[in-house]
Structure 1
Amino acid sequence: MATAQLIPLPPEDAIRVLLARGRQLSPTFAWQDAYAADHAAAFTVAKSAGFDVLQDIFNGLSKALQEGRTLRDFARELTPLLQVKGWWGRQLVTDPLTGEQRPAQLGSLRRLETIFNANMRVSYAAGHWANFETNKRARPFLRYVTMRDEHVRPEHSRRHNLVLPVDHPYWQKWACPNGWGCRCTMQSLSQRDIDQLIEDGEKLIFEPPDEVTQTWVNKRTGEVRDIPVGIDPGWDYNPGQLGANIAANEALAEKTAAAPFELLEPMVADRVRSDAFARFIEKPEGSMPVMPIPPAIGEAAGTAARVAILSAETMQKQLRRHPEMTLADYRALPSIGANPTLVFRDGANTFVLVKLDDGRWRYVAAKTTKTGKAAFVTSFRYASDENVRRLLVREGVKVLIDRRGM
């Protein structure tokens, strides 16, 4: 009888995250140039600025992840290509920030190992976190697990067997990997799992250990951060959670690309009802799809985008300028795009408005990119009848949709 061969399936969420980062290649001189969450949104390698190697490194990582290849495979194929392009060994390179030349380590087997391990661990962390979110009703707890050997950092060892809810704010910084070379992992648990671990003699911890922070100054940007001792600078965020958000946004983009317009609102509404969206509104990182774009608006604005995006930069601006806007307001964005009362163009801006029963307007401003491939929400606030009247009488304003008399 023939024996069935079991072939492991590729980690879809991990692959999706890496591919999403690869759409934005960002050559940098120093790792501090692209900090923390920026690494999750774009693919970069320190000292790649000025060299045509970033796409090659990304392609090697993508191939390794999709085909289950090892570090040895990755390094063997990539090394001769990097050497031919001159990105190898210790060389004098020019710092674009200061214009100074300084010696720096470019490619080496050790650097390729660091690049491989960091990107693989972040990608897999995203896949794991996607599962944590999906299954948190059945398995609502996370357990921090170390390798329990002499190489584990003392602060990580103190957190071995720490068990907290998936949504606990502690994981916003202490979800692994927590540094270069960190091998710690997270496990999702049910209450039954916890009971069994205790019965088996595991000493679980249900309160985070006392935390000491250290002030770290990014010498490239001047940014000052308080980072918990035990976490390397650049890793004081939740790489899995942010990566999982990117994967979810990518999956939604794929679904909406071919979906009929009438299905866009429920698809986007499902995303903005998520806990991930609530966290984004409170602490903006990355971006979120928020508003379907009716065909008439897309045609007039010159964009093929089906859904408008709210970026972290705009959301941070919103928190400063319009703190009156609540989570419920932001969760209304899908219905505003799908069922606008009034839409008009003013130069490069598109304004989408919905009139509420109390006489106020919810007012969304959006812009498209120069290529027309994407559209972004640039402002969201309340407006009065007088505000709207003044906007409409501007020279050059073109009304696209007007349902005020309906």
Structure 2
Amino acid sequence: MATAQLVPLPPADAIRFLEARGRQLSSTFAWQDAYAADHSSMFTVAKSAGFDVLQDIFNGLAKALKDGRTIRDFSRELTPLLQAKGWWGRQLVRDPLTEEIRPAQLGSLRRLETIFNVNMRVSYAAGHWAGFERNKKSRPFLRYVTMHDDHVRPAHARRHNLVLPVDHPYWNKWACPNGFGCRCTMQSLSQREIDQLISEGENLIFEPPEDETKTWVNKRTGEIRDIPIGIDPGWDYNPGRVGANVAINEALAEKTAGAPFELLEPLVQERVRSDAFARFLEKPEGSMPVMPIPPETAKALGTEARVAILSQATMEKQLRHHPEMTREDYLQLPSIGANPTMVFQDGQNTFVLVKLADGRWRYVAAKTTKTGKAAFVTSFRFASDDNIRRLLNRPSVKIIIDRREE
């Protein structure tokens, strides 16, 4: 009698996340150029510009993740291709920020190992976090687990067996991986499983250790951050949650691609009313789809984008410059896009406005990318009638939609 062969299924959530990042390939000079959560919304390899290797490296990672291949398989197949394209060894490169020309390490077996390990761990973290969110009603707690050996970093060892709710703010920074080479994992638990672990003598911790921080300066951008000791610079965020959100947003984009315009508002509205968006407003990480783009507007702009995105950088700017905008205001963005009172174009910017009962306008500025494949919200605020009249008096303004007399 033949024995059935049980073949492990590919990690679907992790694959979706990596594929979502692969839709935005970006060459950077240094890892600090795309910091923390930015890495989770794009695929980038430092010092790859000019060598046409970014797609090759991504394809190798995607194949390894889908087929369960090892670092040895990944390196063996990719090395000759990278060498043939000249991306190998130490070479003189120009820093686009300083114009300085200096020697730098391009491809090597060690770099490929780092690229493989980082991307695999972050992809799996995103896959795991998607599961945590799906199952948090029945398994509402997360447990921090180390490898419990001599190679565990002291700060990580102090957090071994830490148990907190899935939505606890402590996971904003301490959700692993917490650095290069971090092997820690997270486990979702029900109350019953917690009780079982305690009965078995497991020493669980329910209060997080107090953080000690160190000040770190990003020499590429000048940004100053206070990072908990035990977390590497660039890892002081929740890579799993940000990654899971990237995959969800990508899935929403795919769902809206062929959907009638009338269905876009409820699809986007569901995302904007989610817990993930509420967290995004408080602590921006990654990006969020927030506003359908009317067909007339898309046609006038020559864009394929169906939904405008609110990025981390813009949300951070909003919090600094427009703190008067409340969550209730942001919840109006889907309906502003679906039912604008007026849309007008000024150069590459499109302004969408909705009149309020008190005489003010909700004013949204959005801009398409050069390729026309994406659109981003660049500003959201209130405007007065005088503000609007001045804008409409500009000679370059072109009105696309005007429903003021309807």
User: Normalising by structure 2, what TM-score?
Assistant: 0.93
- Tell me the SS of whatever aligns to 2:352: strand
Structure 2 CA distance for aligned equivalents of residues 38 and 379 of structure 1: 20
Deviation at 1:99, TM superposition (A): 4.4
Q: In the aligned structure 2, how far is the partner of 1:131 from the partner of 1:181?
A: 23
The one-letter code matched in structure 1 to 2:229 is V
**Which aligned pairs between 1:189-200 and structure 2 lie closer than 5 A?**
189-200=189-200
Shift of the alpha carbon at 1:107? 2.6
Deviation string for 1:307-328 (max 9, x for gaps)? 1111222222222221110111
Provide the residue aligned with 1:119 in structure 2.
119
**Aligned equivalents of 2:310, 2:234: Cα separation in 1:** 24
> Counterparts of 1:6-405 in structure 2 under 5 Å?
6-405=6-405
Question: What's the secondary structure of 2:66's corresponding residue?
Answer: helix
Deviations 1:164-186 (A, max 9, x none): 11111111111100111111001
Moved more, 204-213 or 380-389: 380-389
Q: Which runs of 5+ in 1 are unaligned?
A: none
Offset at 1:155? 0.9
Identity %: 82
1:91–1:299 distance in 2 versus 1, CA, 3 Å:
closer
In 2, the alpha carbon distance for the partners of 1:100 and 1:361 equals 48
Distance in 2 (alpha carbons) for counterparts of 1:349 and 1:85: 39
SS at match of 2:138: coil
Q: Which amino acid in the other structure matches residue 105 of structure 1?
A: Q
Taking the aligned partners of 1:308 and 1:222, their CA distance within structure 2 comes to 29
Aligned mates of 2:399, 2:172 — CA distance in 1:
44
1:309-367 residue CA offsets vs partner (Å, 9 max, x unmatched): 11222222222221110111111100111122222333333222222333332121222
Q: Secondary structure at the match of 2:303?
A: coil
| Worse overlay, 350-359 or 71-80 | 350-359
Query: Given the superposition, is the C-alpha separation of residues 375 and 99 from structure 1 closer, same or farther in structure 2, using an over 3 Å criterion?
Result: closer
Cα gap change, 1:53 to 1:370, in 2 (>3 Å): closer
User: 1:65-105: CA deviations, max 9, x gaps?
Assistant: 12221111111111222222333334454444444454443
- For 1:35 and 1:104, the matched residues in 2 are separated by 20
- 5+ long unaligned stretches in structure 2: none
Distance 2:85 2:335 in 1: 51
SS in 2 for 1:182: coil
Partner Cα separation in structure 2 for residue 203 and residue 139 of structure 1? 19
Q: Which amino acid aligns with 1:323?
A: P
Cα RMSD of the aligned pairs, angstroms, is: 2.0
Q: What is the DSSP-based 3-state SS (H/G/I as helix, E as strand, rest coil) of the residue aligned with 1:362?
A: strand
- Structure 1: how far apart are the matches of 2:87 and 2:397? 53
**Shift in Å, 1:42:** 2.1
| Deviation digits for residues 5-32 of structure 1 (CA, Å, limit 9, x no counterpart) | 4333322222222222223333333322
For 2:60 and 2:31, the matched residues in 1 are separated by 20
Code of the residue aligned with 2:350 in structure 1: it is T
Q: Distance in 1 between matches of 2:40 and 2:371?
A: 24
**Inter-CA distance 385–205: structure 2 relative to 1 (3 Å threshold):** same
Amino acid of the structure 2 residue aligned with 1:86: G
d(CA) in 2 for partners of 1:49, 1:298: 31
Mapped partners of 1:390, 1:209: distance in 2: 55
- Larger mean CA deviation between 74-83 and 89-98 belongs to 89-98
Residues 2-11 or 59-68, more deviating: 2-11
CA distance in structure 1 between the partners assigned to 2:143 and 2:270 by the alignment:
28
Q: For residue 44 of structure 1, what is the amino acid of its counterpart?
A: T
Q: Post-superposition shift, 1:218?
A: 2.4
Distance 2:288 2:277 in 1: 7
* CA deviations over 1:157-206 (Å, ceiling 9, x no partner): 11000011111111111110011111100111111121111112111101
Equivalent residue of 1:241, what SS? helix
Counterpart AA for 1:279: R
CA distance in 2, matches of 1:105, 1:372: 35
Q: Closer, same or farther in 2 for the Cα pair 1:304/1:88, shift >3 Å? A: closer
Q: After superposing the two structures, state which structure 1 stretch, 255-264 or 13-22, moved more.
A: 13-22
- Give the superposition deviation at 1:234: 1.5
Change (3 A) 1:44 1:399: closer
SS of equivalent to 1:132? helix
1:158 to 1:256, Cα distance in 2 relative to 1, 3 A: same
